[in-house]
Structure 1
């Protein structure tokens, strides 16, 4: 009996390492990692956690279980950064650099979420709270536009300086947002962590 249990445990671990979880008796759900090029964006152990899937950082959203459709209707993910300092504040942005497509990103960066004054204690546990400058908008890649990158970028918020806000022009639209100008204007420096996942319209696979 002990030998049988050991074999079952080993087989289960092999399935998990391979990144495959069963959907039902006749189909497997494959969790595919990003290419080496896209994986370079991921740094700092920032976790982006959605229901059912779990941490989607540095991977393709699987097509099984309706995940590519569901992620477009789920609410905001849980964001966890275990290295956060409890006495510091942070800024999180979620953007799509591939709007409307990676081959023709004329509306980059599309701002899906922007939240400031995030407490470090919440980041450590994954229960963030702060002031939303742009409310969360789920991933919504248009049909026939291929895979889109959805990027999460975390900055340590400066303790001094001007209040961090969006201009009236920025508030008027989400697309064609200049991240570089925003970072430079508020002296944010380099991000402390970043992550991304890729997905496409659920009708396209």
Structure 2
């Protein structure tokens, strides 16, 4: 299990449909800045974690955290607003995450993050495990294969068994904690 890295992606809604607030008698209702109830602002993140590795004295050699990466893109602001000038670079959330967006995320963020934080004392045979979602198709092009095999690494992708949510480490742990903190 030391060579297995778990990856998964999750949508996070900035304002969920129902929220409960406990207010004092003289406290005003909280301000909800949502443009439309039909189109909620959301963002997708991909996370990569592995097993924590300890030394013989209980000290942490490797924390198993490879990163949480947002699906975002940069665009130039066309109009001026009260918050920014025209022509300024804006970062926007990607609303359509398909297999091309997943391929780009794997190439630019996930694989490079794993390679940069991989412990030196471990073998470079890495297994990346993710769930059996429909857009999770392993790219077969030459550039992707070269990125997985470069720098002495042998990165291979494995799938979780279908319909086995108990094996999804990220949904059971990390994403639940993030949602609790967010809400």
- The verdict on a shared fold, with TM-score over 0.5 as the criterion, is no
> What range describes the TM-score normalised by the shorter chain of this pair?
under 0.3
Structure 1 length as normaliser, TM-score? 0.22
Question: In terms of Rg, which structure is larger?
Answer: 2
Structure 2 length as normaliser, TM-score? 0.24
